[in-house]
Copies of this chain bind each other. A is one copy, B any other.
Amino acid sequence: MNNVQIVEVGPRDGLQNEKEIVPVEAKIQLINKLAASGLKRVEATSFVNPKWIPQLADAEEVLQGITRRTDVTFSALVPNLRGLERAAASGLTEIALFMSASESHNQKNINKSIDDTFPILREVAREAQALGLRVRGYVSTVFGCPYEGRVPVENSRRVTHALLEMGVYEVSLGDTIGVATPKQVHEIIGELVKDVTTERLAGHFHDTRGTGLANVVAALHEGIRTFDSSVGGLGGCPYAPGAAGNISTEDLVYMLHGMDYETGVDLDLVTLAGAYIQEQLGRELTSKVLKASLAARSV
């Protein structure tokens, strides 16, 4: 119960939000540093059509360049069979599917209704499993939708169950626009864990309004032990460019260790990974631990 798994999503969820395309070599270096810091799960890139996300068009090159390790699972976002082919050809052992809990976000993001998305993902999941790949699932807008506001927990339950039935081993519940507060996390996750075991759920919080780590604590109270985070707090909010993105891995690790949870992550090493990508990007990232660490070093 005292182990927490961290899924590092910075190279994907973070870098896909950068205006400037980060050079392949910097991505490779970043991922290698993250893997060396003790993180056991790293979402390295995305096989979404490069037309939509040019920032990650170099997925194959990145996966070819990184140092593979038996103790780290690298994964990538996959939207369809074409993406799955690319992922499998890159030697990945895990992919992640994604859809939304709210109809209009799903429609805008995937260009399909929720009901029309199910069969597509089901086919990808089936093929992936036939190829021996593990499949993770993301549900976006669980805690709020940029178009619809509050999203009924019934929507999230329905999509979560549909993904689990496809054979997804874990569903990551996303606060895509970073509006959740601990009370809402308690209510929504408390409702979902009534018929899904906590081992099959992860929390994916964005810190757009500063509540990210408080939401993690609320989810811990509900029994969740897997959290997505992004080194440096990389990432942002497509609906409010300039706003803060994912919770920072450094801050998450600092807090969890202070609460006697074990993560296997070396805080100093992951903070150095944050310092590295901050320097590459040439702008100040939002991680508070990173800021404090660089400040202390300069004293």
Contacts of A240 in B (CB 8 A): 292, 295-296, 299
Q: Is A181 an interface residue (CB 8 A)?
A: yes
Contacts of A295 in B (CB 8 A): 237, 240-243
Q: Are A255 and B211 in contact (CB under 8 A)?
A: yes
Q: Contacts A243-B288, A288-B244; is A182 near B254 (CB within 8 Å)?
A: no
Could you say which of A16-24, A29-37, A157-165, A212-220 contacts chain B? A212-220
Q: Contacts A178-B292, A259-B183; is A298 near B210 (CB within 8 Å)?
A: no
A217 interface neighbour in B180, B217, B248, B284, Cβ under 8 Å:
B217
CB distance from A261 to the nearest CB of B (A): 9
Q: Is A228 an interface residue (CB 8 A)?
A: no
Interface residues of A in 284-299 (CB under 8 A from B): 284, 286-289, 291-292, 294-296, 298-299
Q: Is A282 an interface residue (CB 8 A)?
A: no
Q: Are B294 and A242 in contact (CB under 8 A)?
A: yes
Select from chain B the residue with minimum beta-carbon distance to A298: B242
**Residues 154-190 of chain A: 1 if any B CB is under 8 Å from the residue's CB, otherwise 0?**
0000000000000000000000001111111000000
Inter-chain CA distance A240–B289, complex, in Å, is 11
Inter-chain CA distance A299–B241, complex, in Å, is 7
Q: Are A289 and B184 in contact (CB under 8 A)?
A: no
Inter-chain CA distance A287–B242, complex, in Å, is 12
Q: Contacts A258-B181, A258-B184; is A243 near B210 (CB within 8 Å)?
A: no
Contacts of A243 in B (CB 8 A): 288, 291-292, 295-296
Q: Are A255 and B287 in contact (CB under 8 A)?
A: no
A254 interface neighbour in B211, B217, B292, B299, Cβ under 8 Å:
B211
A213 interface neighbour in B208, B211, B287, Cβ under 8 Å:
B211
Q: Is A260 an interface residue (CB 8 A)?
A: yes
Contacts of A217 in B (CB 8 A): 182, 214, 217-218
Contacts of A239 in B (CB 8 A): 296, 299
